[in-house]
Structure 1
Amino acid sequence: MFEEASEVFDNMFKSSFPLTFIVFIPAVLILVSPLPAEAAHEFTVYRMQQYDLQGQAYGTRNAILNTEARTVEAEVLSRRCVIMRLADFSYDKYQKALRQSAGAVVIILPKNMSAMPQDIVQQFMELEPEMLATETIVPVYFAEEDNELLSIYTQTLTSSSSQGSLSAAEVLLHTATANGFQMVTSGAQSKAISDWAITSLEGRLTGVGGEDLPTIVVVAHYDTFGVAPWLSYGADSNGSGVSMLLELARLFSKLYTYKRTHAAYNLLFFVSGGGKFNYQGTKRWLEDNLDHTDSSLLQDNVAFVLCLDTLGNGDSLYLHVSKPPKEGTPQYSLLKELETVVASQHPEVKFSMVHKKINLAEDMLAWEHERFGIRRLPAFTLSHLPSHRSAQRSSIMDVRSVSPSSRHGAGEPPAGWVHYCKSHQYPKRKHFTFQRVSFPSSSLVMALPEQPYCNIIKRLHKRCSVKVRLRWQNSVDDLHIFASSLKLCLPFSLRVKPAIFDLLLAFCIAAYLGMMYLAIQNFGLLYSVVRRITLPKAKVH
């Protein structure tokens, strides 16, 4: 019986070789198939800035990635997605990934930024301008830490670190058999936004006592800046400046409703856009008001321009000027009044004036008041920063709560963006509560049509009884922004075999089929050998 069955199988496989695939391939796939992949974990990533300013490219150029995850401790980073935590981040490690032509870089940020050591936060803030200054082909993303992402990072770190102590054969075997994590983005390559505008707002309070009244201008730019647009909340720079401007507008609107407190000054409140791009919104606003109109308050007598910038932290207060004010001028009176109030009411606050001339040779102006100084308008900037080069003005780390010792304005010290407190009935008690920033306000994000930032400012201005109007300026000719693919959903597929495993699997299948083919073609010989081995030997008498 067994011999007859062997002859049937021998003739069947010799006459129909494709039948070999039908019978044996399913068995092969079942035996050597990889472990089933676990469910994919999706989380949100935020892309690095991308813009061109004055012919210079800044930030990352690519947005698409589909590659395996590694940590910077791995020996080979080429065409791999390098993930690293902020606590372990350094510029040398970042440059190592770029030099080895990594497929992408993902930096994991902690949920609670205030819990991070200040030296790490300060170090990263100082590195952000360097990361943006160089055009980077590699896609760079940021992600907020969660339990699943932390678990993925830990497993990847363990796998990457163990490869350094293995031999070449062990590394090859580990590469072929280990489970990895595949990172895939679903977005498209970013494209420049050709039609976008800088949005600014202005509000007015008219003085009393005559027609030709001097005008006091209060200015604050609302946009923020950081290495990642969707993470640039700007709690201090310059959410605190806008918060203080709105609080001043509220206070003066209340004073201007009564004859006894109605001052003989026109007040102009200007919330400008494009502040982080060389104050382009202020530049266009000045051109419209000084060069193309005859009905602007700036055409009349301007007492001074007060710019508010980064006022929500610290125990110091600086008045930055391009030209020291002369005695007898309104700006000199303001300077002396500030000195008196600080000395009598808040002696713990250090107040001083910082003089810096306008340097037109630099690509970027230092402070917003320099835009007004170029047009020969008396202006200065009030800030708690002693220098315009402070890293706090352009960082995604600007989300920390404001120190309780900061008392630079009316009401509570601002901790970021301002929301109107609806729990207090207007106008019986008019005030704003200063809360943490709830949405980013980077210029790249503001270019998107669905952003409600300026409309919120307009509503708050109107609640202060200030006549408000929105102003749109055309986009800057020498600034091209790429605001697409800034926020993506990134799935991590767990238990993903590396690409070399496919080659190994194909080799095993080919070897198995080759052996089976040879065995079938020589089934008679194989059967006789097996029969000879399995049959008992005849006894010798």
Structure 2
Amino acid sequence: MNRDKMTTMAMSMTMMMAVVVVLTCVGGGAQAAGFTTAVHPLTSYGYSGASYGSIAKSVTGSATLSATPWSSTTMAVIVLTEESLAHDIVNALVTSPPRALVLVLPSPDAAWAAEVVAAMETELMWAKIECPVMMAFADEIGEEGMKELDELTLSVKTSAKEIKTGDAANVEAWLIGSQGERAKTIVVAAHYDALAAAPSLASGSDANGAGLVALLSVARSFGRLYATEKTRGAYNVVFVATAAGKLGFAGAKAWLADASAMQLRNVELVVCVDALGAPGVNLLSTDVPQSGKKRGPAGSAASDAFEAALAELGAGKIELELDPEARTYAFEHERFARRGLAAYTVSSHSAPYNMLRTKTAAVAGAYDAADRDALVANIHTVTTALVRVVFPHLGLAAAADLARPDAGFVDAWASYLEATPRFAPLLATPTGAPVVAAITKALNSALPAADVTASDFKLVVPYTFTAPTASAELSAYKQTSPIYDLLAFLAAGAYVVGVYAYFVGPSAAVAAVLSYVTSKPSSATKAKTKKSKSKKE
């Protein structure tokens, strides 16, 4: 190798190394991944010609940690805190939407979190937002990810479809008493669906997971009590897990439509169990208009005995009034009371919480966890009262002993429901099939002598929903800067020139580069370009 070649090669390599050093300083780590986490897109729905919620689409953009205002070209990220004001966020979204909004939710362990998320969630469901809105959890992003959020580019992949109608399923089990099929009947009902602004977060174990757990636990107790003909009570007991409770209690309506006139005549008491995951039990009763008159629950020996038993156990009774401005019923028992049946709801709540009905909170599933000790205690209270109704000769202590729930069973089912989204509209699709199968299996196990069936019905509601068809994921990464790209190009160019100079000599290499840069297009190239332009025209 001659001296000129060696000198040129050394200069080129030195130049390339210098550029690489600068690259390391300027863009070092620019290609390092940020993080990937699950996100939960907000649903959109239509009601009476009006649209609510947010649009659903995949989107990529630079992130900015922002309260309001934000840029319409950025992915705004808001970390919810105790001081966050949901209505301020929603007002800004409606007037000037960003490219997309990511709401970073606090840990469910935070004492204040449920109230803040509930307020924000309800506001979002009642607004029309012209950008994708999604939720993520701070503890899943991690401390390092949270620190870097405003330096990253965010990319969200999601897909959705519109859901109008479909088949839903009630699961029922008839436990026949000592007097046969035509005997007086007690109905225990609970809806098993849930609702949240983000469908993938509709997995709460309280509303109404706790009601479903209570129904299954009561069924286990009565399965033992009715195990032989000698131990059965005089009442038939029907357990009904209803679908679409959050959509106007459509499952209860379908069950009433399918029941025969004789079966309904024999019903002396309907007990709907709902959201028992907080301390205390309330007995809720509603005056329901019927045939132009106002009447409360039809009196019966069973209803009187149930009220008396709950009062003895310390439960308070609350008389409710129908809200004429609400879209649908507040509690499930009102569906049954409308048919003239003695119907009640037992619940830790005293007011409705369905945000599709009125502007009331329906907390995302992560914050809707049932208090296990309270749930076990409340199930024990309700079961004891029902045992007193069916076996009136038993004293309170004896009934309570027979009604004691299995805490392990309660915890296992509450945990399952906390991890299982049960968004009401999606239960009318194959998505809901595993939930229905699990309920059917549990009732068959609890009541081996009962006839357990899952009955499909056509779900027709005045809503249309757009819900995700697959899990959504957010990828966060650092975007390569233009300077980084330019320096990378120069480094590659220096290397190519150095190699070329090694083979042809430095003078020839420089001449070739200058010739390429300063040369004019050939006549053939001009003709080709002109021909291409004429074709386009």
Q: TM-score, normalised by structure 2?
A: 0.71
Equivalent residue, structure 1, for 2:336: 372
Q: Following TM superposition, by how much is the alpha carbon of 1:85 offset from its aligned partner in structure 2, in angstroms? A: 2.0
Q: Describe the superposition over 1:121-167 as per-residue Cα deviations: whole angstroms up to 9, x where unpaired.
A: 2132133222101122211111123475543332345xxxxxxxxxx
- Tell me, in whole angstroms, the C-alpha distance in 1 between the residues paired with 2:145 and 2:369: 27
Equivalent residue, structure 1, for 2:369: 400
Cα gap change, 1:30/1:136 in structure 2, threshold over 3 Å: closer, same or farther?
same
Q: Following TM superposition, by how much is the alpha carbon of 1:479 offset from its aligned partner in structure 2, in angstroms? A: 2.6
Alignment of 1:69-468 (within 5 A): 69-73=63-67, 76-87=70-81, 89-91=84-86, 92-110=88-106, 112-114=107-109, 116-118=110-112, 120-146=113-139, 148-157=141-150, 180-188=151-159, 190-193=160-163, 196-210=166-180, 212-289=182-259, 297-298=263-264, 300-322=265-287, 323-325=295-297, 329-340=301-312, 342-343=313-314, 351-359=315-323, 361-389=325-353, 393-402=362-371, 404-405=373-374, 407-410=377-380, 432-435=409-412, 436=415, 437-451=418-432, 452-464=434-446, 465=448, 466-468=450-452
Cα gap change, 1:489/1:265 in structure 2, threshold over 3 Å: closer, same or farther?
same
- Tell me, in whole angstroms, the C-alpha distance in 2 between the residues paired with 1:487 and 1:81: 20
CA contact (8 A) 2:310 2:382 kept: no
Cα gap change, 1:183/1:304 in structure 2, threshold over 3 Å: closer, same or farther?
same
Alignment of 1:452-531 (within 5 A): 452-464=434-446, 465=448, 466-485=450-469, 487-497=471-481, 501=482
Equivalent residue, structure 2, for 1:163: none
CA contact (8 A) 1:48 1:486 kept: no
Q: Following TM superposition, by how much is the alpha carbon of 1:333 offset from its aligned partner in structure 2, in angstroms? A: 1.9
- Tell me, in whole angstroms, the C-alpha distance in 1 between the residues paired with 2:423 and 2:279: 24
- Tell me, in whole angstroms, the C-alpha distance in 2 between the residues paired with 1:393 and 1:248: 26
Cα gap change, 1:98/1:504 in structure 2, threshold over 3 Å: closer, same or farther?
farther
Q: Following TM superposition, by how much is the alpha carbon of 1:448 offset from its aligned partner in structure 2, in angstroms? A: 4.5
Q: Following TM superposition, by how much is the alpha carbon of 1:98 offset from its aligned partner in structure 2, in angstroms? A: 4.5
Question: What is the identity, as a one-letter code, of the residue corresponding to 2:135?
Answer: F
- Tell me, in whole angstroms, the C-alpha distance in 1 between the residues paired with 2:471 and 2:215: 31
Question: What is the identity, as a one-letter code, of the residue corresponding to 1:106?
Answer: V
Equivalent residue, structure 1, for 2:509: none
Cα gap change, 1:462/1:108 in structure 2, threshold over 3 Å: closer, same or farther?
same
Q: Following TM superposition, by how much is the alpha carbon of 1:517 offset from its aligned partner in structure 2, in angstroms? A: 8.9
CA contact (8 A) 1:314 1:403 kept: no
CA contact (8 A) 1:412 1:433 kept: no
Cα gap change, 1:489/1:434 in structure 2, threshold over 3 Å: closer, same or farther?
same
SS at match of 2:104: strand
Q: Following TM superposition, by how much is the alpha carbon of 1:40 offset from its aligned partner in structure 2, in angstroms? A: 5.1
Cα gap change, 1:472/1:30 in structure 2, threshold over 3 Å: closer, same or farther?
farther
SS at match of 2:154: strand
Equivalent residue, structure 2, for 1:12: none
Q: Following TM superposition, by how much is the alpha carbon of 1:182 offset from its aligned partner in structure 2, in angstroms? A: 1.5
SS at match of 2:310: helix
- Tell me, in whole angstroms, the C-alpha distance in 1 between the residues paired with 2:35 and 2:149: 15
Q: Describe the superposition over 1:429-472 as per-residue Cα deviations: whole angstroms up to 9, x where unpaired.
A: 99824232221212144344244111000000000123211111
Q: Following TM superposition, by how much is the alpha carbon of 1:502 offset from its aligned partner in structure 2, in angstroms? A: 8.8
Equivalent residue, structure 2, for 1:423: none
Q: TM-score, normalised by structure 1?
A: 0.71
CA contact (8 A) 1:392 1:398 kept: no
SS at match of 2:230: coil
Q: Describe the superposition over 1:100-123 as per-residue Cα deviations: whole angstroms up to 9, x where unpaired.
A: 32011111224x412x133x4213
Equivalent residue, structure 1, for 2:52: 58
SS at match of 2:378: coil
- Tell me, in whole angstroms, the C-alpha distance in 1 between the residues paired with 2:140 and 2:245: 37
> Over aligned residues, Cα RMSD in angstroms?
3.8
- Tell me, in whole angstroms, the C-alpha distance in 2 between the residues paired with 1:478 and 1:502: 55
Cα gap change, 1:94/1:279 in structure 2, threshold over 3 Å: closer, same or farther?
same
- Tell me, in whole angstroms, the C-alpha distance in 1 between the residues paired with 2:420 and 2:75: 28
Equivalent residue, structure 2, for 1:9: none
Q: Describe the superposition over 1:402-453 as per-residue Cα deviations: whole angstroms up to 9, x where unpaired.
A: 063551123999xxxxxxxxxxxxxxx9982423222121214434424411
- Tell me, in whole angstroms, the C-alpha distance in 1 between the residues paired with 2:85 and 2:192: 30
Cα gap change, 1:405/1:399 in structure 2, threshold over 3 Å: closer, same or farther?
closer
CA contact (8 A) 2:183 2:235 kept: yes
Equivalent residue, structure 2, for 1:13: none
- Tell me, in whole angstroms, the C-alpha distance in 2 between the residues paired with 1:203 and 1:361: 35
- Tell me, in whole angstroms, the C-alpha distance in 2 between the residues paired with 1:146 and 1:136: 27
Cα gap change, 1:126/1:40 in structure 2, threshold over 3 Å: closer, same or farther?
closer
CA contact (8 A) 2:310 2:381 kept: no
- Tell me, in whole angstroms, the C-alpha distance in 1 between the residues paired with 2:443 and 2:183: 22
Question: What is the identity, as a one-letter code, of the residue corresponding to 2:97?
Answer: S
Cα gap change, 1:258/1:31 in structure 2, threshold over 3 Å: closer, same or farther?
closer
Question: What is the identity, as a one-letter code, of the residue corresponding to 2:187?
Answer: V
Equivalent residue, structure 2, for 1:39: 33
Cα gap change, 1:373/1:492 in structure 2, threshold over 3 Å: closer, same or farther?
same
Unaligned runs of 5+ in 1: 1-23, 158-179, 344-350, 414-428, 510-515, 522-541
Mean Cα deviation higher: 214-223 or 147-156: 147-156
Question: What is the identity, as a one-letter code, of the residue corresponding to 2:371?
Answer: V
Unaligned runs of 5+ in 2: 1-14, 288-294, 355-359, 384-405, 491-512, 519-537
